[in-house]
Structure 1
Amino acid sequence: MNRIKAWSLLFSLLIGAVALAPQVAVSKTKAAKENISSSPLPKRIQATYEVTKNGEPFANVHELFVVTKNAYTVESTTKGLGVYALLGERKLSSVGVITAKGLQPTHFELHQGNHKKKSLFTDFDWAKRSLVMTIKGKQETAELKAGTQDLASYAYQFMFMRASLKNTITVPLTTGKKLKQYQYKVNPEQKIIDGAGVQYKTLHLTPAEKDASETKELWLATEHYYVPARILMIDDDGHKLEQTLTELRIE
């Protein structure tokens, strides 16, 4: 698999992507548990992931989710390892407001290294139900569906969906180039996922329907605001990208 295709696969992986008194840290030596059903929203979540391609080191992902009153921001930076570092950092950012139903993005951006032509800009006009995606300077418009998330925000929307995480769920998501609805089947049995020596109780989401081109699965940490503890993607050539949580800090 060449470098460009591998990086594109990582892009797809990102799709298939506590106001506590003391600071809570989950690292290689300690796991923190919160009763999220009774806790307020987190003020800040810092998550670090290790990404492997067919079992070999591929990239590191660093994410920061911040809540300020009724607004939120998400920043996600992916740094390739080895030869993949030559492709430059991939940066995602999302800003928006927090409603009773969860995150409501207003603006999303994607930047790939110094390649300005690869930058994507998306604006969410909820009043007009219009999604405006700017791709290579040209605008494309789509009907904005209720609950739509972007590549940076979707991972932090699951904490608002925990009551509906039964049977199947639908996640409308924009990649910055298109708007698509992803359907997942929720496995009722919790599974233990090991992330850098920390064990997470997780809810396993699998595609509701088989896709001939790719398969995406997510494991959501049920005791840590449903942050994805693992994301797995297998493309049509059988290449596997796996993103595993290695450090989590929650305030």
Structure 2
Amino acid sequence: MSLARLLLLTGAVLAVHLLLLGAPRLHFDSRAPAMGRVLSTRTIVRPGPSPASLAPPTPRAAAGPERRATPARPRKPAQPSTTAAALGDTSVAAPPPELSVLGPTPTEPLAPESASPEPAEQEAVTRPPREDGVSARLYSFPASARLSYEIEADRFPYTASAALEWQHDSKSYQASMTIRKLVTVRSQTSVGSIGADGLMPTRFADRSRNEVAAHFDRNGGKVTFSANTPEAELLTAAQDQLSLPLQLAAMVAGEPEKFGRGTTITIQVVGPRQASLWLLTVEGPETLALPIGELGTLKLQRNPRQPYDQKVELWLAPSHGYLPARIRLTDPNGAYLDQKLQSIEGLY
């Protein structure tokens, strides 16, 4: 190749290069970077949301004083429902008090309040405390008899009369008292059986204008009254107002040594409308001048416990099987009725 042609080719190549270098750049920035400028890059962090735009955190409630754990209270034992108890008590009932004869006991000083009783030895079955005494179990019943009495009372200025008839066959008994004053008659009757507790009445009646009666339900353990008064619990050896002096006669005759002065007898007495607990005290022997004559007697007395109670005085005649020789009733207002033995005849 000739030199001229080589130079021409070289010039053409240079022209093409110059043309290419002077042409526009193919990108979105039309400004050409200045020759010799130093280019540097940096990372720009996009700012986050303004702190003011953020919801402020919910402040925690100020902690109060530390609470101490309260120990659980012990549960109280379940109490029996009063309703259930009213409908029917399933607990074992305590035995009713028996007819007891208590001897005189000296008065003991009370224990000081600060003193604590010694723990009692626990029994298999807990029972209520009973008074020291001897149950009257020996009876000697007087023979069947008819007793007549003269009656003196401050309620009428004349003398009335009364008759007591008492009959038994060692298994059953019946007794009647008839009081006559002018044209008025009042009567009482008592019937029942004789058993381990002495006389065991089944019915007691009191008749003046109308009759009222008490019925002894021994299977049910109660006394009911025809006067529609509330029924009463029937206690062991309970007596009615008429059988009482006859029961006392059999008790004293059976064990006379147990009825010294000051002895107390506790017994339930049933009237035509109600029952109550009587406490009779042996006052001791007395000699009385009576319509029948002079008699040695043993006096027993019931003192009133309530303002409306009667005072009852009984004189039992040992020479006549301890049958009542005199009975005196005194009301709270001082009114009295005094019946004294006039005659006695056997009924055999």
2:145 corresponding residue in structure 1: 45
Matched, 1:107 2:196: no
Superposed displacement of residue 48, structure 1:
0.8
Report if the CA contact (8 A) 1:63-1:74 is conserved.
yes
Letter in 2 for 1:218: L
Please state whether the residue corresponding to 1:236 is helix, strand or coil.
coil
1:167-246 equivalence runs, <5 A: 167-188=263-284, 190-208=285-303, 212-213=307-308, 214-246=310-342
User: Which position in structure 2 is the counterpart of 1:165?
Assistant: 259
Determine which of 176, 180, 185 is the counterpart of 1:79. 180
Worse-superposed segment, 203-212 or 90-99: 203-212
With a CA cutoff of 8 Å and minimum separation of 6, indicate the structure with the bigger relative contact order: 1
Task: Name the structure 2 match of 1:70.
Answer: 171
The alignment's TM-score, normalised by the length of structure 1, stands at: 0.72
How far apart are residue 127 of structure 1 and its match?
A: 2.1
Does structure 1 conserve the Cα–Cα contact (< 8 Å) formed by 2:325 and 2:340?
yes
Q: Give percent identity, aligned residues only.
A: 25
Distance in 2 (CA, whole Å) between partners of 1:89 and 1:197 is 23
Matched, 1:124 2:225: no
Matched, 1:143 2:233: yes
Partner deviation per Cα, 1:133-185 (whole Å, 9 max, x = no partner): 111xx363110011111122112111222135341112311111010112121
CA-atom RMSD, angstroms? 2.3
Flag the structure with higher strand content.
1
CA shift in 2, pair 1:75/1:197, >3 Å: closer
Q: Which runs of 5 or more structure 2 residues have no equivalent in the other structure? A: 1-138
Contact 1:202 1:222 in 2 (8 A): yes
What is residue 161 of structure 2 aligned with on the other side? 60
Larger Rg over CA atoms = 2
Contact kept, 8 Å, 1:183 with 1:209, in 2: the verdict is no
Normalised by the size of structure 2, how large is the TM-score? 0.53
Shift of 1:70: 0.4
SS at match of 1:177: coil
Structure 1 residue runs of 5 or longer lacking an equivalent are 1-38
